Amino acid sequence: MGERASDRSPDRRPAWLPLAAAGLVVPTVLAGVTLLWPRQQIESDLAAQANQALAAAGFTGASLQVSGRDATISGVTEAEQQRALAAVEGINGIRVAAFGGPADQGAVPAPAEPPVPPAAAPPPAVPAEPAPAEPPAPVTAAPAELDATAKQNLQAGISKLLAASPITFGPNVPDLTAQGRATVGDVLALLVANPGAKVQIDGYVATGPGDGRFTAQQLSDRRAGAVRDALVAGGVPAGQITARGLGEGTNPAMQAAGRRVEITVV
């Protein structure tokens, strides 16, 4: 006699199997969401956590702003600054905390210095013999600005150099690497060959926490300035160079790819 359908045991799967699958899938989904999370949301979350940490530490009148992963604290007296720093730097994701606003109302102002008595009037000067007039210095004409074709050709040459050998820096410092110095020398040769060229230098930092010596803005400013100073020392007029720091930038990169400058012919 064949077995009846009601007599067959149902196919039962182990109860732990769905839990194990969820344990593998959920972390993967969370990691993908973290990578796509907007930077503005990350800054907002870090600011909320840091403000909560300040309030929990007793700093009810303090305020805090976050740019990238750098926190700026205001409304804390000088005597309480170290304790406020410790509360904020304990937040996971904060690169560095610094003070950028006025202290609390309770801070004691420094005593005013007594006024300095006016000095005695000097004796009347004896008119000196007039110095012989020097011949006027020759006027050197400024180099002509590059036309559109020359700018395109120069930009193509600079872009090719940077693609083959980027201008890089050591971790957390504004010092050029040996490769970075060599590439700056090659860019200098192109600019000297085009005396009317004007360029803009943009400095960047790699993503991730720093060592606390510089904020992302300070470090990117110094990296752009280091390249500008090298080009000026090589003979490019300072008035033809604009340098600025952009922190992590709109296309953040890790490690050496993020520790860089970009040069644009303007």
For the chain, give the mean pLDDT.
Answer: 81
Q: Quick check: 152 and 158 in contact, CB under 8 A?
A: no
The yes/no answer on whether domain 21-99 falls in CATH 3.30.1340 is yes
What is the layout of strands, in order, in the sheet containing 63-67?
Answer: 63-67, 70-74, 96-99
Q: Which of 232, 252, 250 is nearest to 241 (CA)?
A: 232
Strand partners, 72: 65, 98
The predicted pLDDT at position 93 comes to: 83
The angle that helices 178-193 and 216-233 make with each other, rounded to 10 degrees, is 50
Question: 10-21 pLDDT, tens per residue?
Answer: 455 566 555 555
- Strands 70-74, 241-245: pairing is unpaired
Domain 148-265 homologous superfamily, CATH: OmpA-like domain (3.30.1330.60)
Residues 6+ away with beta carbon under 8 Å from 70: 94, 95, 96, 97, 98, 215, 216, 217
Question: 58-99 pLDDT, tens per residue?
Answer: 888 888 888 878 889 888 888 888 888 888 888 888 888 888
Question: 107-166 pLDDT, tens per residue?
Answer: 444 455 666 667 767 777 766 777 777 777 666 677 889 999 999 999 999 999 999 999
Kindly report whether the global pTM for this prediction surpasses the value 0.95: no
Spell out a b/e string for 156-167, using b for 16 or more CB atoms within 10 Å of the CB, else e.
ebbeebbeeebb
Question: 21-36 pLDDT, tens per residue?
Answer: 555 544 444 444 444 4
Cα(69)–Cα(216) distance, integer angstroms: 8
Question: 247-259 pLDDT, tens per residue?
Answer: 999 988 888 899 9
- Report phi then psi at 162, rounded to 5: -70, -30
* Single-letter amino acid code for the residue at 157: G
Q: Which helix or strand (DSSP H or E) is residue 96 part of? A: strand 96-99
Domain spans, the chain:
21-99, 148-265
